[in-house]
A and B are shown apart, each in its own frame.
Chain A
Amino acid sequence: MLVFFVYPVASILLLGVAPEGRPDLGALVAVLSRPFVLEVAWFTLWQAALSTLLTVLLALPGAYLFARFDFPAKRLISALAIVPFVLPTVVVASAFLALLGPRSPLNAWLAGLLGGESPLRLEHTIWAILLAHVFYNYAIVLRLVGGLWSQLDPRLEEAARMLGATRWQAFRQVTLPLLRPALASAASIVFLFTFTSFGVILLLGGPRFATLEVEIYRQTAQLLNLEVAAALSLLQMTALGALLLLYSRYQARLAVGLRLLPARSTARPPRSRRERLFVAANLAGMGILLGLPLAVLLERSLARPAGYGLGNYAALFAPERVSGLFVPPAEAIGNSLFFAALACALAVSLGLLASAAIAYRRGPLGHAFDALLMLPLGTSAVIVGFGFLVSLGRLPFDLRTSPLLIPLAHALLALPFVVRSVTPVMRSIDRRLREAAAVLGASPGRAWREVDLPIIGRAALVGAGFAFAVSLGEFGATVFIARPEAPTMPLAVFRLLGQPGELSFGMAMAMACLLMAVTAAAMLLIDRFRAGAVGQL
């Protein structure tokens, strides 16, 4: 952790503060006060704010739907709605490129209908970015807000109605304030994600738009301007630190003593026509927002110049190299799976140790450790990748060419997910379960094996699934540290998209679909284990 996280980040700090080996804050200030830096920072901020607002507004009706109504296939739809969230950024960006770009079937259809040329050319506009962000983060609001909403006693609102409040007043005065903790967490998380958005903006924004993350990448990879990149990283880290601090302050103030009900008891089938209409419209809206991009992605992956077929997939597995990639694309699949397996093993073993340290050791030390482990989540993948790039060459053993480097970076980024899955479960195990085991004759060690281990085991599997999925889809850090001859799947998609021509585009789509399938399989596995896990939700 120290070597692979603190050291790289410290190296960035050093590079930013002292570019020529001696402290020179003037240089830092000079870099940061360039107009283009301010522009980038301002864009980062407002696009994140706007994305967050849009996501919350669009997802609230969905949250209400899942909280209060029963309808056919609810569980399935709820599981499907979370799919976009776990998709790799590259896949999401590809999907929106397919939907809104020049090759979009939607555009072709609209053009045919209205005459003229593709009316929905939104690629390289802010709309594409905002839409992709909403698509991506919809599930966060749905799950967090809908989750709390479904546990609120509906009689609270009924009580307000009996006291003379209109439907809207009851919502404004009772429900909304009670939902505030969940709304605040969801909005903060969405803001954080969109603030550090990298893949979506790099691929969809074109040359006109750049967040801090994208700019760090450009300065490093295209302009070889490491000092500027380091200064930008500093700015980014400071902003994120401030955000996280604000969030934790706010969160502590929000805690309301609520009596929560089992979600099952608060939902009912829609009864009136109005309610049925609401449910149907809501589901249709969700289908268009979340389903259409993926459907188009799939359609494009099957489209060949000569008509539909599996040609794009076949081309991926052809033994010859493709322009833009130095190896046959199929190798990227092997690389990704190999890295993901390694990263997963690393993250889970480290994560279990860390969780035990946090869960069983109360007090300031445990808290500090907890905070330290969450840092990779707050620093963003690009900074981790950049840090690895600038720092690890100076270690006694040169890791930059080691195949272990990517799994290490991925494990670091996945660690918070593992810890977050395991720690609450470790903590929530009722002390009395162990006592019950003791009274029934289990020695302390035996009680731990019989009670804690099986319960933690499931949580660890969930964490492993997350780590696997994170590693598979990881793009921001990988783009810095992967060697050209060993690309991963997201990297292959990125490179293929960078090539002109319909063939490359089709292959990129096909690769994105494969990546989606593998990720979805990992998530399905998680869900199965999570359904059985206890004491966690």
Chain B
Amino acid sequence: MLVVEGVVVRFGALEALAGVDLTLPPGERLSVLGPSGSGKSTLLRAIAGLEPPTAGRLSWDGRDLAGVPAHARGFGLMFQDYVLFPHRDVAGNVAFGLRMRGEPPAGQRRRVAEVLAMVGLGGYERREVSRLSGGEQQRVALARALATEPRLLMLDEPLGALDRDLRQRLVADLGRLFAELSLTIVYVTHDQEEALSMGDRVAVMRAGRIEALLPPGELWRAPPSEFVARFLGFNNLVEPEELPDGRLQTPWGTFPSAPVGPGADPGASLVLVRPEGVQLSAEGPLRGKIVARTFRGERVLLRVELPAAPALEVLADWLDAPAVGQQVSLVIEPSAVQLVPVRAAPPSAR
């Protein structure tokens, strides 16, 4: 079990990690999500032993990791853009960790073949790594990290450099592979879809801190802060006024008091209208013009500009969604309204 307590990493004046607490039980898959510069990669490097923490403590099964150098931790790290050894072929890359452990050559060969087959690159042993496509390089890097069966596997934006189609296929492949091997995983990404599909829990990072740490379903259902909500793609957020009878008045209408996220202060919350709960209708209290249509798989996200209120985003069915420029009426279902705290609750309250 990995325990991270109050870890700070400072580069000169810059605080890349500003106090991170995290507990990772064996077999868990943790996604770390955040915009670039939020400290995701630094967190990985600190856990790997490549970046000594300025303050705080890292431990594994109760043993302090402070004096343990990177090569003795037994963790695997798959680097962003892979960092394959250019002077070795595929097998040379994959066998590297085994060789470091003093595995005999026959064992190395067997394991290399096994892992390469696992990632779908059977027979690639003698290929030059520089001649491989991006997707193939990604899988060699994965095989290299898997070959030694690390007790903790960390992946830094493993699919970041690949095109969308390949990325979606690999997310599924990786998920299946990780489940089969029941590995403990830290998966860093800036893509919310990837984070939500890969993790048992998702940590959302912001400016060197973990702002939220929740299972993906809960995170999606009740974003614990405005930052998280916006990062997940929710833009229908507005500051409400609380009426004496407890109802909430907003430019989009007046709603009955809504449930508040755990531990948050209702006085400092925003109203979130989930786009799937806004209906297009012939008659409605809100009339506006469609200014943008964005493809979302089965559905389409419409941005509707309103004359006297902030624009609303509406998730509609692909087939009967009106075109850009058309006037529409909107009805907001009461169940689509919820409160999101402006700031996340402090860790103690979670």
Contacts and interface: CB of A to CB of B under 8 A. Distances in A.
Interface of A: 430, 432-433, 435-444, 446-447, 450-451, 454-455, 534-535
A440 B100 contact: yes
Contacts of A454: 87
Contacts of A430: 83
A440 B83 contact: no
Task: Output the residue of A440, A441, A535 with the most chain B CB within 10 A.
Answer: A440
10 contacts: A433-B83, A436-B79, A437-B100, A439-B70, A439-B75, A440-B100, A440-B145, A442-B96, A443-B71, A450-B96
Contacts of A446: 71, 100
B144 interface: yes
B86 interface: yes
User: A-B pairs with the 9 shortest C-beta distances?
Assistant: A440-B97, A441-B100, A438-B70, A534-B86, A439-B77, A438-B71, A432-B83, A442-B100, A436-B83
Nearest to A447: B71
Given A435-B70, A446-B100, A447-B71, A441 B87 contact: no
Interface in B36-84: 48-50, 69-77, 79, 83
Interface in B206-229: none
Contacts of B130: 534
Contacts of A441: 71-72, 74, 97, 100-101, 148
A430 B83 CA distance: 8
A432 B76 CA distance: 14
Contacts of B75: 439
A430 B79 CA distance: 12
- The interface centre, meaning the residue of B49, B96, B100, B101 with most chain A CB atoms within 10 A of its CB, is B100
Given A435-B50, A436-B79, A437-B96, A442 B87 contact: no
A43 B304 CA distance: 78
Given A440-B100, A535-B86, A432 B79 contact: yes
A439 B50 CA distance: 8
Contacts of A447: 71
A443 B71 CA distance: 6
B100 to A, nearest CB: 4
Nearest to A435: B50
A41 B77 CA distance: 63
Nearest to A436: B83
Contacts of A535: 86
Interface of B: 48-50, 69-77, 79, 83, 85-87, 96-97, 100-101, 130, 144-145, 148
A437 B101 CA distance: 12
A531 B69 CA distance: 36
Contacts of A440: 71, 76, 96-97, 100, 144-145, 148
Contacts of B73: 439
A439 B100 CA distance: 10
A440 B76 CA distance: 7
A443 B72 CA distance: 8
A383 B145 CA distance: 56
Contacts of A443: 69, 71
Contacts of A432: 79, 83
Nearest to B74: A441
Nearest to A439: B77
A432 B83 CA distance: 7
B93 to A, nearest CB: 9
Given A430-B83, A440-B144, 18 more contacts: A433-B83, A435-B48, A435-B70, A435-B79, A436-B85, A437-B96, A440-B96, A440-B97, A440-B145, A441-B71, A441-B97, A442-B71, A442-B96, A442-B100, A444-B71, A450-B96, A451-B85, A535-B86
Contacts of B96: 437, 440, 442, 450
A485 B221 CA distance: 93
Nearest to A440: B97
A529 to B, nearest CB: 12
B171 to A, nearest CB: 23
Nearest to A432: B83
A433 B144 CA distance: 13
Contacts of A439: 48-50, 70-71, 73, 75-77
A450 B97 CA distance: 11
A40 B101 CA distance: 68
A454 B89 CA distance: 13
A534 B87 CA distance: 8
B163 to A, nearest CB: 18
Contacts of B48: 435, 439
B46 to A, nearest CB: 13
Contacts of B74: 441
B36 to A, nearest CB: 17
Contacts of B79: 432, 435-436
Contacts of B97: 440-441
Nearest to B48: A439
A444 to B, nearest CB: 8
Contacts of A455: 86-87
Contacts of B70: 435, 438-439
A296 to B, nearest CB: 42
A436 B76 CA distance: 9
Contacts of B69: 438, 443-444
A427 to B, nearest CB: 15
Contacts of A444: 69, 71
A45 B76 CA distance: 61
Contacts of B71: 437-444, 446-447
A435 B41 CA distance: 14
B77 A436 contact: yes
A379 B144 CA distance: 50
B71, B101, B144: residue with the most chain A Cβ atoms closer than 10 Å: B71
A111 B285 CA distance: 103
A447 B49 CA distance: 15
A437 B69 CA distance: 12
